Amino acid sequence: MRSPTLRLNGRDIGPHAVMAVVNRTPDSFFDKGATYGFDAAIGAVDRAVAAGADIVDIGGVKAGPGEDVDVAEELRRVVDLVAAVRARHPGVVISVDTWRAEVGDAVARAGADLLNDTWGGPDPRLAEVAAAHDIGLVCSHAGALAPRTRPHRVGYTDVVADVIDHVTSEAERAVALGVRRDAILIDPAHDFGKNTRQSLEITRRLGELTATGWPVLVAVSNKDFIGETLGRPVDKRGVGTLAVLAVSAAQGAHVFRVHDPQSARTALNAVTALTSPRPN
């Protein structure tokens, strides 16, 4: 299957692009605030780029429930960091994990190339911001869950069909608003509005998402569905993460959001080597 085109920061990205997570939050589920400080965040970006990350995804708000972070505080955490990364690494793609249009506008002005809305479009103006600045947009599925809330007894007739319907509709809406078609990704958003069984179903059937023709972002790094399936705490899910990356890559996923970019790059290079045709 031919890989779709994804063009950000003036160049083609992928097909096995590594997106490194840099959380400028004091309460991240994985690193517990290790990159909250400005200098620590810059150091994490430097290491990610050196490890082969194509994209750096900067976040200023913890995904799960926790202390309230208003727009002003989110701006304080991410805008200056985006500007510093842009000056420091002009060739890297800068993504910002936000669902807020105000934040999207500010980081776009600071040099961001991609707005990563992990909550499925709760602020419809975010696509308008991406269009206005000619930058990319991630269209995700969270089962209509409000940002920073957890699913409770969520049910779908067919979770994959629900995901495809939502993310492709959001992608086409973004195109209609002026976002470049080759700057849009779709993300099933494992664990967002989904239980472990549903996230595993998406993983097994990811090929149905890649068959839509949109570049697919897989954000599974150290997530709960991996931990629950393998019986591992959050700091012991690396092997499971790499296994899901390989399964996803084999089905045509395009971008892989991870906490350990070096291991991800090694694994994805191995997938490429093992699945590429060999001359007779």
Q: Helices then strands (H, E): number in the chain? A: 10, 10
Question: What distance in Å separates the CA atoms of residue 227 and residue 37, rounded to the nearest whole number?
Answer: 28
Q: Looking at the predicted structure, is the pLDDT value of residue 233 above 60?
A: yes
For the residues 201-212, what does the mean pLDDT come to? 98
Taking the CB of residue 84, how many other CB atoms lie within 10 A of it? Answer: 16
How confident is the model over 110-123, as pLDDT tens digits? 999 999 999 999 99
The amino acid that residue 24 corresponds to is R
pLDDT for the residue numbered 165: 98
Taking the CB of residue 117, how many other CB atoms lie within 10 A of it? Answer: 27
Question: What distance in Å separates the CA atoms of residue 266 and residue 264, rounded to the nearest whole number?
Answer: 5
Q: Looking at the predicted structure, is the pLDDT value of residue 24 above 60?
A: yes
pLDDT for the residue numbered 253: 98
Question: What distance in Å separates the CA atoms of residue 270 and residue 45, rounded to the nearest whole number?
Answer: 24
How confident is the model over 82-91, as pLDDT tens digits? 999 999 999 9
The amino acid that residue 259 corresponds to is H
Domains and CATH numbers, the chain: 21-274 (3.20.20.20)
Q: What is the dihedral of CA 250, 255, 258, 261, to 10 degrees?
A: 90
How confident is the model over 130-161, as pLDDT tens digits? 999 999 999 999 999 999 999 888 899 999 99
pLDDT for the residue numbered 205: 98
Q: Looking at the predicted structure, is the pLDDT value of residue 47 above 70?
A: yes
What does the block give as tokens for 61? 């708000």
Question: What distance in Å separates the CA atoms of residue 63 and residue 261, rounded to the nearest whole number?
Answer: 20
pLDDT for the residue numbered 280: 65
Taking the CB of residue 77, how many other CB atoms lie within 10 A of it? Answer: 22
What is the percent of the chain with per-residue pLDDT over 90, rounded to a whole number? 92
For the residues 190-214, what does the mean pLDDT come to? 97
Q: Looking at the predicted structure, is the pLDDT value of residue 1 above 80?
A: no
pLDDT for the residue numbered 252: 96
Q: How confident is the model at residue 279 (pLDDT cuts 50, 70, 90)?
A: confident
3-state class of 69 per DSSP? coil
